Structure 1
Amino acid sequence: MNVLERLRGGLVVSCQPVDGGPMDRPEIVAAMAQAAVAGGAAALRIEGVENLRATRPVVEVPIIGIVKRDLPDSPVRITPTIADAQALIAAGADIVAYDGTARPRPDDRDAILAAIRAGGVLAMTDCAEPDDGRAALSGGAAIIGTTLSGYTAETATDDDAPDLALIGRFQALGGFVMAEGRFNTPELARQAILAGADAVTVGSALTRLEVVTGWFADAIRRPR
């Protein structure tokens, strides 16, 4: 069974602890990943080369690797350079995800996509709009994701609901569609599949204890 078939109809768990938090350590990320697989995750999304190196030996499911950087001259954070993509491939990623928007970054998005494909792994394009998906598929990306909808200047919104409409628009383009971004309940994940997603990625609601604790604490403190 190929990598995409292993993902199809499944849950991808993004094991990304809060940056600098007490769980932000490679051995803990690897343990999160093992727990997610034990719970039924079909694949994992792991940020950072060291975290990927720690996780790869202890799980058998496909891993989507990313590197996040805060750059002084670009809003792009997800795998912004060819070198980042190559490092993830060397660390054992089955899939490398990168920012597929048209925003400027150190290396052109098409060059990053080409480097991922040249490295012999699948490319996932984190998109914000339909044009991002079209460009990615034309360049040979295997997966297009709704990851960045709501997180770019052009798509920013006060609505904290996931972009179900974009899933349908991506499905019409063809290719493998990953629902990602604010799918923080089981029901929303199910809605993503019903809207046409091939798989769903969930992160904060599963692996960021500080964030989820805040949701409950805020609800309890809310005025009656």
Structure 2
Amino acid sequence: MLENIKRGLVVSCQALEQEPLHSSIIMSKMALAAKEGGAVGIRANSKADILAIKEEVSLPVIGIVKRDYDDSEVFITATKKEIEELIESGCEMIALDATMRNRPNGLSLEELVSFAREKNPAVQLMADISSIEEAVNAEKLGFDCVGTTLYGYTKETNGSKLYENDFAFLKNVLKEVNIPVIAEGNIMSPEMLKRAFELGVYSVVVGGAITRPQQITARFAAQIPK
């Protein structure tokens, strides 16, 4: 999959239960629209959505399962159950929370990586990280790539934006790891995408700026003079 998305745009097609576009059929059509617009890959949430997307497009998929657990803040592909669902979906890559936070049932990240490798060695693994330390650790654990997905979404980084100070965090990640780095999180414009590639990222994932019309509408509405 990494070869297929090299120097390309991956579009995240996700809609949670409380969102207007929540539907596997709608997400499959969103993926088709992304393909027609030039996307080289899709990031999708849940086995059901991935199966629907794969019926609609031939693009490779980065799969995740978002699920809340009472004993952990980790919710992106948090346990073996989610890994099994994603392998069954046929996605080419699995992304999982690779932060240092405690996982459900005390499961370690290393255990989850080993479980995924044993279940299907052909499926590549993407580490969703929020810090340099986590990126370095992910490389040590054998992840195929790291993504900046969770920067700004943990207690330690809450409110931080990937594009701040000319993508300072992204630059530091690129310096510290040798595996491919995928820029993801708050890429809000084509200009931001272009800058990320100039800095040397392997690929860029864009979600809300393309596939969440309620957020896009809100940004326009916020500019109406009071």
TM over 0.5: yes
When the two structures are aligned, how many residues end up with a matched partner? 219
Contact 1:116 1:122 in 2 (8 A): no
1:188 aligns with 2:220: no
**Structure 1 residue identity aligned to 2:98:** G
Cα RMSD, aligned residues only: 1.4
Correspondent of 1:206 among 183, 207, 210: 210
**TM-score w.r.t. length of structure 1:** 0.93
**Structure 2 residue identity aligned to 1:122:** Q
> What's 1:89 paired with?
87
Q: What runs of 5+ residues in structure 2 fail to find an aligned partner?
A: none
Contact 2:151 2:162 in 1 (8 A): no
Instruction: Give every structure 1 segment of 4 or more consecutive aligned residues whose post-TM-superposition deviation is greater than 4 Å.
Output: none
State the alpha-carbon separation in 1 of the partners of residues 126 and 169 from structure 2.
16
State the alpha-carbon separation in 2 of the partners of residues 22 and 114 from structure 1.
37
State the alpha-carbon separation in 1 of the partners of residues 150 and 162 from structure 2.
13
> What's 2:126 paired with?
124
**Structure 1 residue identity aligned to 2:92:** D
State the alpha-carbon separation in 2 of the partners of residues 207 and 18 from structure 1.
12
Give 1:18 shift. 4.7
Contact 2:7 2:203 in 1 (8 A): yes
State the alpha-carbon separation in 2 of the partners of residues 9 and 92 from structure 1.
23
> What's 1:61 paired with?
59
State the alpha-carbon separation in 1 of the partners of residues 42 and 135 from structure 2.
22
Q: What runs of 5+ residues in structure 1 fail to find an aligned partner?
A: none
**TM-score w.r.t. length of structure 2:** 0.92
Contact 2:13 2:44 in 1 (8 A): yes
> What's 2:141 paired with?
139
